[in-house]
Chains A and B, each alone.
Chain A
């Protein structure tokens, strides 16, 4: 499976965020998007995830036989908005996702993220880093084949960053697709650096 971004233009407020952007996302080749604030990293991910309409250009995916296929339902996006419910407890949030995606809950992940002992606490009381970890659990739990991660490491301590990095590497090793935007140094094997 490949994801092809073909000649993408995005105009916002009379200014082009990116022009003639073309690249191909393939298995075992994670793409790291770097760029300064306001350079359109988030917009690019939202374009790919279908949440934002590009001015022109095309995004499509092809399977092994070279046929165009629908990819949106195989995509998962994690952005600045954490997509967690402050009114619910940690556990209630996770149970909701596991029912929503029809996937089993991975207890190890909770333990690695040190959220297991907080499972009965309302998310609204957690610190930002803990909320961010909880929001990433949704991505890991859903196990979709294309991950679009916008600044996944923001707010995480060193230990948790390692855990996230390992999980991303595992995802790559399975031959699945991933695009990550970041400010900090992130190194993966065979990575392609995209500067906006």
Chain B
């Protein structure tokens, strides 16, 4: 247990000391969200309808653009080498690293989603359901993105490539997630069914992604 806590703590300390990374993710999220309303202007009727979609898009783009650094530092400075050699626990080390990333980058975004919803004039009844459904889908988002991060390790401009590689994998999540809070889609998904589907998706990602990532990183290690 000590080993894993040490890794989580180290990653959190580094991302706190190098806080720009967090601020950049945050700023990116805000800028993306503020772009659409400017284009639409102050048309108050359209904004609440497209608002939830915008939140999802901003959230997943921020995840995809910030995740490229997840394994990069450890790979470049050689820390990855000795972690790979402790092969029995490497998959758990990966889970720890993704978890530390989730705390430092994703959690702040989820916390500001209610505030962003207010800025987008999303109806008050929808704010909590939207935030909750993004919260439970975030493990899936982050773990799948981490696979992309491992795939593009050592490449330049990996952020864009990760987006192309990983975005198609997000489609089921996005469809279920957005329709869950969309009042215009009737019948197919009641909210609780969507919550269950997305929880399942998140569980599956947490279970499978570490093995995939470990395989990729081992292949990638030289």
Residue B76 at the chain A interface, CB threshold 8 Å: yes
Q: A85-B14, A88-B13 are in contact. Are A50 and B82 (CB under 8 A)?
A: no
Q: Is the CB of B10 within 8 A of A88?
A: yes
**Chain B hits for A80, CB < 8 A:** 78
- Nearest A residue to B219, CB-CB: A53
**Contact A88-B14, Cβ < 8 Å, known A50-B87, A100-B3:** yes
**Number of B positions contacting A (CB below 8 A):** 25
Answer whether residue B190 sits at the interface, using C-beta atoms and an 8 A cutoff: no
Cα distance, A102 to B82, chains bound together (Å): 15
A to B CB contacts below 8 Å, 26 in the list: A49-B81, A50-B84, A50-B87, A51-B81, A52-B221, A72-B85, A73-B86, A75-B85, A79-B81, A80-B78, A83-B78, A83-B79, A83-B81, A83-B82, A85-B10, A87-B17, A88-B13, A96-B6, A96-B9, A99-B3, A99-B9, A100-B3, A100-B7, A101-B3, A102-B3, A138-B82
Minimum distance in angstroms from B13 CB to a CB of chain A: 7
CA distance A49 to B76 in the complex (A): 18
Min CB–CB distance B68 → chain A (angstroms): 18
Shortest CB distance B134–A (Å):
30
Contact indicator B3/A85 (Cβ below 8 Å): no
Which residues of B sit under 8 angstroms from A77, Cβ to Cβ? 81-82, 85
Interface: A106 (CB within 8 A) = no
B168: CB under 8 A from chain A?
Answer: no
Q: Does A195 contact B (CB under 8 A)?
A: no
Give chain B's interface secondary structure class. helix
Given known contacts A51-B221, A52-B222, A83-B77, A100 and B85 CB-to-CB distance under 8 angstroms? no
Please judge, given known A-B contacts A81-B76, A83-B77, A84-B77, whether A99 and B87 are in contact too, CB under 8 Å. Answer: no
A46 to B80, CA, bound (A): 13
The verdict on B31 contacting chain A, using a C-beta distance below 8 Å, is no
Write out, one digit per residue, whether chain A residues 122-165 have a CB within 8 A of any chain B CB (1) or not (0). 00000000000000001000000000000000000000000000
Q: Are B222 and A86 in contact (CB under 8 A)?
A: no
Q: Mark each residue of chain A from 17 to 57: 1 if its CB lies under 8 Å from any CB of chain B, else 0.
A: 00000000000000000000000000000100111110000
Asked if A50 and B85 sit within 8 Å, CB to CB, the answer is yes
A72 and B87 in contact, given A51-B222, A81-B77, A87-B17 (Cβ under 8 angstroms): yes
Whose C-beta in chain B lies nearest to the C-beta of A47?
Answer: B222
Chain A residues with CB under 8 Å of B156's CB are: none
Contacts of A84 in B (CB 8 A): 77
Instruction: Confirm or deny: B18 has a beta carbon within 8 angstroms of a beta carbon on chain A.
Output: yes
Q: Knowing A50-B87, A83-B78, A85-B77, say if A96 contacts B10 (CB, 8 Å).
A: yes
Which residues of chain B have C-beta atoms less than 8 A from A101's C-beta? 3
Q: Inside 8 A of B187's CB, which chain A residues have their CB?
A: none
Chain A: CB-nearest residue to B16:
A87
**Distance in angstroms between the alpha carbons of A87 and B85 in the assembled complex:** 24
How far in angstroms is the closest Cβ of chain A from B204? 29
Q: Which residue among A82, A83, A88, A138 has the maximum number of chain B CB atoms within 10 Å of its CB?
A: A83
- Chain B, residues 135-160, CB within 8 Å of chain A (1/0): the string is 00000000000000000000000000
Contact of A73 among B76, B77, B85 (CB under 8 A): B85
A82-B77, A102-B3 known; 17 new pairs, CB 8 Å cut-off, are: A51-B84, A51-B221, A51-B222, A72-B87, A73-B85, A73-B87, A73-B88, A77-B81, A85-B77, A86-B77, A88-B17, A92-B13, A96-B6, A96-B10, A99-B5, A100-B3, A101-B3
Name the residue on A nearest B2 (C-beta). A99
3 A-B pairs with least C-beta separation: A81-B78, A99-B6, A83-B78
